[in-house]
Structure 1
Amino acid sequence: MMRNDLPQVVVPKTYEKYTSRRVLMTGWVEGEKLSQSTESDVEELVNVGVICYLKQLLDAGFFHADPHPGNLIRTPEGKLAILDFGLVTKLTDDKKYGMIEAIAHLIHRDYPAIVKNFVKLDFIPDGVNLEPILPVLAKVFDQALEGGGAKNINFQELASDLAQITFDYPFRIPPYFALIIRAIGVLEDIALVGNPDFAIVDEAYPYIAHV
């Protein structure tokens, strides 16, 4: 998918003969860490990386869950190479559409709808009374949107605030979402170095627009 849809992205060849459950053998890719490169096209490659991850997450439902700076490199040809697919995560269609809907509802501050999305996304067990949780989540979302709206949301801070709710309410952070937030956080950190105005919500808008 990434090779066909995003020619700027390089994925190393996997040697299945030498790969096992514990060992992933891939081809060697020359390059330098994207986070340490001084080339003028790095900012563009970061945006390509964000789009690539959004396509994996919201289109394919199967994504590379460990995009630390050492796994994102700029090749001598000016392409983005993504290394080490040893940690990946799958999402069902229900989870994909639920996430897209939740982001759209967050932008419009439709908190009752988000709470229902959270049931679909396994944050809240099915059958739980949602009334006590709604005002608590509304407060968290209001804080996240304060000072610039959805474009300025820090998803790592939002996830941290949501995690605090788990101590007092029937609310949990699903393992798949923890991996997603970690991946988004790494990409945001790299992107913000080159572009202080970077907003991942802008990049996700083509998906949200169809909701």
Structure 2
Amino acid sequence: QLSFVRKVAKRRSNISLYADELGKGFVDELDYNIEADNATKFLDTHSKYSFVMVPKVLKQLTRKRVLTMEWVAGENPRELLSLAKGISGSIAQLSEKQKLDAKARLLDLVNKGVEASLVQLLETGLLHADPHPGNLRYTPDGRVGFLDFGLLCEMEKKHSRAMLSSIVHIVNGDWASLVYDLIEMDVVPPRTNLRRVTMDLEDTLGEVTYEGGIPDIKFSR
């Protein structure tokens, strides 16, 4: 919500800065030469991690309006989840073994996806900025494959550490400490009333509740 962004960032007259940055991302995504460069950079940065698969760009067949890349064979998370539940569009009824195998592949994908995210956040500093299920594949050789490199994010070390710390503080509902994470991430500018920001966070996010041991945070209160 823009009102919440204004409260935290204290940029009531400069909200257009955020819109400009968002618009730049959209424009960049329309130029496939930029996406090709992003994909190559992401591949070069993460090629040493054996569990990560990034398709190669075929530069000789790529233009501003055409992006040609290596084909990534594999299953996406939604397909694996459906198979694990016994739902398949091509097989009338899945056996228990097929469902268990699909569940094992899904869990392996989740584990490797989390590890890949931590590698990006804590080691390489180059993040895939749109890792939704449609952009992920579980390859036949058991790697996590990434697709769609229109948006990447490069993070400074201090921002990486602060983001990791912020996750812990959000899960614990420690809004006062979260404010200092936001300062480290340059979200909260200098000379901001930190007590007011903390109160805004408490009012917006409230108390963290747990369902089955998993924190349930209401970001849309």
TM interval, shorter chain, is: 0.5 to 0.7
SS in 2 for 1:102: helix
Please, which moves more after superposition, 93-102 or 31-40?
31-40
Change (3 A) 1:70 1:102: closer
Change (3 A) 1:74 1:131: closer
Change (3 A) 1:149 1:110: farther
Change (3 A) 1:80 1:102: closer
Check if 1:88 corresponds to 2:145: no
Instruction: Kindly provide the amino acid, as one letter, of the partner of residue 76 in structure 2.
Output: K
Check if 1:4 corresponds to 2:67: no
Q: Which runs of 5+ in 1 are unaligned?
A: 162-211
- The 1-side partners of 2:171 and 2:134 are apart by 33
| Partner in structure 1 of residue 77 of structure 2 | 34
- The 2-side partners of 1:47 and 1:31 are apart by 16
Change (3 A) 1:138 1:8: same
Report 1:140-159 matches (<5 A).
140-143=204-207, 145-147=208-210, 151-154=214-217, 157-158=218-219
- The 1-side partners of 2:159 and 2:151 are apart by 19
1:106–1:150 Cα contact (<8 Å) kept: no
| Partner in structure 2 of residue 186 of structure 1 | none
Larger radius of gyration: 2
| Partner in structure 2 of residue 68 of structure 1 | 132
SS in 1 for 2:70: coil
Instruction: Kindly provide the amino acid, as one letter, of the partner of residue 11 in structure 1.
Output: V
SS in 1 for 2:115: helix
| Partner in structure 2 of residue 112 of structure 1 | 176
Q: TM-score, normalised by structure 1?
A: 0.61
Identity %: 33
Superposition CA RMSD, Å: 2.8
- The 2-side partners of 1:149 and 1:138 are apart by 23
| Partner in structure 1 of residue 42 of structure 2 | none
Instruction: Kindly provide the amino acid, as one letter, of the partner of residue 25 in structure 1.
Output: T
Q: Deviations over 1:135-182 (max 9, x none)?
A: 221344442x2236994144xx43x45xxxxxxxxxxxxxxxxxxxxx
Change (3 A) 1:64 1:23: farther
Shift in Å, 1:48? 0.9
SS in 1 for 2:48: helix
2:210–2:216 Cα contact (<8 Å) kept: no
| Partner in structure 1 of residue 198 of structure 2 | 134
